[in-house]
A and B are shown apart, each in its own frame.
Chain A
Amino acid sequence: MVVLSAHKIGIFWQRLSGLIDEAGQTFVRTSFSSVVRDNWDMAVGLMDSQGRQFVQSAKSVPSFIGTMPRTLAVMLRRYPRQMLEPGDVLISNDPYHGTGHLNDITMACPIFRDRRVIAFVTSVAHTVDIGGAPSVEARDAYEEGLTIPVSKIVRAGIENEDVIAFLTENLRAPDETLGDIRAQFSAYRQVEQRLKRVLSDDGIDDLDALVDEILRRSEASMRSAIEAVPDGSYRDEIMLDGFDAPLKICCEVRVNGSNIVVDYSGSSAQVARPINSVMNYTISYSNYAFKCLFDPATPNNDGSFRPITIHAPEGSIVNPRRPAPVWARHLCGHYLPPVIFSALAPVIPSRVIADCGSPLWNVYFQGRQRDGRPFIKMFFMNGGHGARDGADGAPCLSFPSNVATVSIERFESTVPLLVTEKQLMPESGGAGRFRGGAGQRLSFTNVAPEPVTMTIRHERVKFPPRGLLGGGHGAPGRDLINGKVIGPKGRYLLRPGDVVTFETPGGGGLGMATGDAAGSPEAVKR
């Protein structure tokens, strides 16, 4: 076995991250969907032969980073290593094993060396349409579209026509989705070639020893940061607008030496509305919060999360049972980092941030182009960022997700909607020693000759983003059609000429405001 020095580990790790970044670039540049190329709603990761993740592309959605290794584990139960051959690609979008909703397709490609699996390259990408009738009315997961069970979409280098046919027949925009899927195949081939070269250049047989060492060191680093937090039990809870009635997430963080247990007992029971966060997604965003708090600089890998255990009662909104609907699971999952932050705020006040204007806001527009072709288009818009000790929150920043917005000019050039405003709402950030970031107002006019269907599912309309440690709340969000407030979750018909307006929530403030100056909106206006 190769003994790896600190110097060699650093060099290999760098080289492998570079290789996965390249693959991420290739995917983004050749993708056909706006969500991948403009919003970067994707991730590419590398696992060792045991499925342990230690590298992912720089442009990666945090939740996907967390779910990829778990999805791979499920895939390998269906197709154990002895059933895999070079050139295979596995696919699935099962929400309970994947990222929590059908729209994210996870794929994995084994990499062989001397007829032995030495690594897996995995990727996740959002697809805007997954068939079915995804809606806020869905009562179970079957209504939400096509479930792709773990299958081989490519067998030994040859595309599996049956899987492709299922996709083609069930999706509204199969060209876009399949275009993206094939773009990922190119990325895998690139990783495979480069990885083999790196290993042979350095005379290494497999990655496992390297990954052992990376995980061991990352775990130690995380443990030493946790040890600095006083032992104890820290609790908080957060209210969700929910659908018919408000929902609640209860969070207890137990710190014991270098271990952390997070317990979501007491959270609301699962509901027959698409807001439930599957366990994978819950684990992913909980881990993400601790990574941000305790060891943001270490490149992400599974070792960092060994000291953390997460309990979520089965049958709750943070660990639902099949077939609870999950399409908008981010409406629940995006509350996990803020509730962990607020629980720990009293002991680590200088590390946390106040609530951001999230869960992520977005809108689906569906209709027909002037030439009759159907379109379905998503638009993302973020709220204000929470304040932290030492700085006001930034306006309109994605958190805890990391989804970029699309250019208005590019958007308008593809769909018959005109954007008539995109501006900050300076008053919307929460007051405080440090102010929350401003949310924004966006308006869209339907300029098509026929109606456009619009679907929204927005939170923080009843319960605004909370201030922290004495800081004020951010302003809640609002949705309006032609100036009249509408419900934040629903499907609406926009007639020609109708104007829909979205006001994203402002971020929470942090600390008590000490004087008028700090609390004045002028501070935001500069």
Chain B
Amino acid sequence: MKEKYRIGVDIGGTFTDFVMIDVETSRLLKEKLLTTPKDPSIAVLDGIGRMLRAHGVSPREVIHVIHGTTLVANAIIERKGVKTALVTTRGFRDVLEIGLEWRYDTYDLAMVLPQPLVPRALRFEATERIGPDGKVIKPLDENSLDAVVTELRRSQVSAVGISLLNGFLNPAHEARIQKLLAARLPNIVICTSSDVVPEIGEYERCSTTVANAYVLPLFDNYLRGLRGGLDRVGIRKDLYLMLSDGGTVHESTAIRHPIRLVQSGPAGGVQAATIYGQDAGADYVFCFDMGGTTAKACLIDEGEPARATEFEVARVARMKKGSGIPLRIPVIDMIEIGAGGGSIARLDRLGLIQVGPDSAGADPGPACYGLGGEFLTVTDADLVLGYLDARSFLGGDMQLDAGAARSAIERHIGGPLGISIQEAAWGIHDTVNENMARAASIHALEKAKRISDYAMVPIGGAGPVHACHIAMKLGLSRVVVPVGAGVASAFGFLAAPTAFSFVRGRVEPLDTLSSRAVTRLLAELESEGRGLLAVAGTAARVAISIQAAMRYAGQGYEVDVGLDRAWIEASDKVRIRAAFEAEYQRLFGRTEPAMQVEIVSWRLTASGPRPKLDLKLANAGFSSKGGASLKGTRAVYDAVSGSFVATAVHDRYAIAPGAAFDGPLIIEERESTVVVPRSATVRCNDSYNLIIDMPLTAT
């Protein structure tokens, strides 16, 4: 039987989404089930089974399953990881708790700091020391580990992280400790910082290493369960996982560094937006994912999502930088703000409208859910403005209470400010849009990009409702609303290439670059990368890319510079410097010709080809309804005139390729509503994606 189906599964907080694609016909099938929080693999196996049965597909026809999960992030957020210990250099066990000594909120005397994942009683010390040049200053005293072993045994820990000072420069002591502990404590998981994150910065490296150890046993268990389940239903095929940087890896690779899965689901959404954007002919894509509680955004240049090397998980204070657990892992660089459909709107102490960062959640949810919620939310404002319809929310499965929304607006904002309900509703809608636009434009500037060069791809339930108004604030000329935004992450898994990146810290002035040693280092990483991809079956078409983190000597922040391997081998310092300065100039608008340049770390990414997905075929037959798409008209708020205007409402499932409309109009689909403002034009392309061209005047 021929293998021809690829399956993507995304476990979210509420739903587990499934997509299955037939690689011969490109036909795409979808499924959505409630997540089973106790054992998420139950929903996964149930959903896969349903999909196979419904479409008469035999398990043996499956090529592979690609999977993303919130398990890792949730384990840390909910503190449900295993009992974990730390072994570090004598004198430094508290580094993990002391952190940066900085207050993330300048004025809040009641500020709460995150507790470290390993309490003091489980933080142990080994007598040893490696110097800042990587040389051993004090040899490892193996006897000093005897007491540690006794304590580890007594306290019944399941995992240990080993993170020694300067261990990223010389892994010998960490490796030796790992070996000694493993011999005497065979049943515990041991992770070393030189394996997980060999980069400078003892606090962040230690934090990442213990977080990896903390989630590894859980993840291992989960994978085994899932593996067993897939075997039982007859899918004895490879299982792949989505990493936070948007690459997929074989299960055997994922299990070494499960911490790299912490942003697995959102990374899938970005990969999906990449495909949607390409389909619409946009080289620069601004992925905007707005759900119930938060919104995330990411910039994608020519098919490559922006990447970062730092991430913060489990923030104590919502959306406050510095209030979480720092991780050094490759991630897709996303901003997240507390602005979703359920974000709460209120007047602050100054009598100004404030939206978020807190959310009313799903239960009781927004006032208009009619579940007794007192909170005024963005969804309530969207309903009053006519952007949402009380009767067609979630395809009509959920009836919204417009009266409750109006009275919440009147009570919380309209009344106190002495303005009309519609003005107040627009104030809420516009404020949350401003939150997002502000965050997006800061993000773009930080990355030295011009946001107005981008086309927006909104995903998530609330994305298309707000997309056009945000696009106008940002001066974007195009918005692309994809089909199936509701299962975007799972679809993105299928669209992502197999890839793994390695980082190695190695601080060296460019002038004295040891090209032989670096060439050797890169060759080692490359062969390891090729090995991992060979397991994944893509060995033949592996692409290798090399980046150096570079800076002027004396600076503390680096710029990532893509380098040609030939320059390194030939020790071509002029070209390497020129590449750095070109990037620096682009980012900061100047260079420092007199300053020395140094390289801080090397990153090598081995990636397979991006799977080919034909959206046109995948979405073929999407508008199965036929007939006229116009469902009727309703009064919708028009920001330009400041009044309600009778606006056409269309059914997305009846819009066929080639259809075109002029704004204002509303296009409804099951999981979302597209709000198209006046003077914008919409057309449906061959892949059933809506291309909205925006008027280029700000409101």
Contact = CB atoms under 8 A, between A and B. Distances in A.
Interface of A: 5-7, 9-11, 13-15, 18, 21-22, 25-26, 28-34, 37-38, 40, 58, 60, 62, 175-176, 179, 182, 186, 189-190, 201-202, 214, 217-218, 220-221, 224, 291-293, 295-298, 300, 351-353, 380-382, 388, 390-391, 394-399, 402-405, 407-410, 412-413, 418, 420-424, 426, 440, 443, 525-526
Interface in B86-143: 90-95, 97-98, 100-103, 105-110, 112-113, 119-121, 129, 131-132, 137
A298 B109 contact: no
Contact of B102 (A11, A298, A352, A402): A402
A483 B637 CA distance: 74
A34 B556 contact: yes
A28 B556 CA distance: 9
Nearest to B112: A391
Contact of A9 (B92, B131, B352, B507): B352
Given A29-B557, A186-B589, A422-B91, A15 B121 contact: no
Contact of A10 (B168, B202, B354, B552): B354
Contacts of B100: 404-405
Contacts of B131: 412, 418
A175 B354 CA distance: 44
Interface string B521-548: 0000000000000000000000000000
Contacts of A26: 588
Contact of A440 (B98, B168, B552): B98
Nearest to B441: A18
A296 B102 contact: no
A413 B441 contact: no
Nearest to B553: A32
B1 interface: no
B626 interface: no
Nearest to A337: B109
Given A37-B556, A424-B94, A410 B102 contact: no
Contacts of B351: 6, 217
Task: Output the residue of B427, B439, B552 with the most chain A CB within 10 A.
Answer: B427
A410 B551 CA distance: 14
B588 A186 contact: yes
B431 interface: yes
A62 B106 contact: yes
B435 interface: yes
B183 interface: no
Nearest to A200: B698
A382 B101 contact: yes
A410 B417 CA distance: 52
B22 interface: no
B91 A421 contact: yes
B352 A397 contact: no
B263 to A, nearest CB: 22
Interface string B314-356: 0000000100000000000000000000000001111111100
B304 interface: no
B166 interface: yes
Task: Output the residue of B100, B119, B351 with the most chain A CB within 10 A.
Answer: B100
13 contacts: A6-B352, A10-B354, A30-B557, A37-B555, A292-B109, A296-B108, A395-B97, A402-B106, A413-B507, A421-B90, A422-B98, A423-B92, A423-B94
A295 B109 CA distance: 11
Nearest to A408: B202
Nearest to A61: B106
A409 B200 contact: yes
A297 B430 CA distance: 22
B434 interface: yes
B201 interface: yes
A351 B109 contact: yes
B135 to A, nearest CB: 12
A176 B101 CA distance: 25
A478 B401 CA distance: 65
A179 B556 contact: no
Contact of B430 (A7, A40, A395): A7
Nearest to A293: B109
Contacts of A398: 101-103
Nearest to B108: A296
Given A7-B431, A34-B556, A409 B202 contact: yes
Nearest to B103: A402
A351 to B, nearest CB: 7
Interface in B409-433: 417, 419, 423, 426-427, 430-431
A427 to B, nearest CB: 13
A418 B92 CA distance: 13
B446 A11 contact: no
A217 B201 contact: no
B556 A10 contact: no
B119 A526 contact: yes
B348 A298 contact: yes
Contact of A418 (B90, B137, B556, B595): B137
Contact of B98 (A189, A297, A424): A424
Nearest to B697: A201
Given A11-B431, A409-B201, A418-B131, A297 B348 contact: yes
A149 B404 CA distance: 63
A422 B95 contact: yes
Contacts of A201: 698
A22 to B, nearest CB: 5
B107 A292 contact: yes
A175 B596 CA distance: 12
A217 B555 contact: no
A397 B97 CA distance: 11
Interface in B646-699: 698
A176 B554 contact: yes
Contacts of A412: 131-132, 166
Contacts of A30: 555, 557, 588
B438 interface: yes
B586 interface: no
Task: Output the residue of A26, A293, A300, A381 with the most chain B CB within 10 A.
Answer: A26
Contacts of B202: 407-409
A189 B347 CA distance: 34
A22 B442 contact: yes
B655 to A, nearest CB: 33
A296 B110 CA distance: 10
A397 B101 contact: yes
Given A6-B351, A296-B107, A407 B203 contact: yes
Contacts of A176: 554
Contacts of B201: 407, 409-410
A304 to B, nearest CB: 10
Interface string B287-323: 0000000000000000000000000000000000100
Given A15-B434, A217-B352, A410-B200, A179 B109 contact: no
A409 B166 contact: yes
Contacts of A60: 106
A25 B95 contact: no
A32 B349 CA distance: 40
A25 B335 CA distance: 15
Interface string B181-212: 00000000000000000001111000000000
A394 B113 contact: yes
B200 A298 contact: no
Contacts of A175: 554, 595
B184 to A, nearest CB: 26
Given A18-B438, A218-B350, A409-B166, A424 B121 contact: no
Contacts of B168: 409
A202 B430 CA distance: 14
B121 A37 contact: no
Contacts of B579: none
Contacts of A388: 109-110
Given A29-B557, A396-B98, A396-B101, 7 more contacts: A7-B352, A7-B423, A10-B434, A30-B555, A292-B108, A424-B94, A526-B121
A525 B92 contact: no
B102 A404 contact: yes
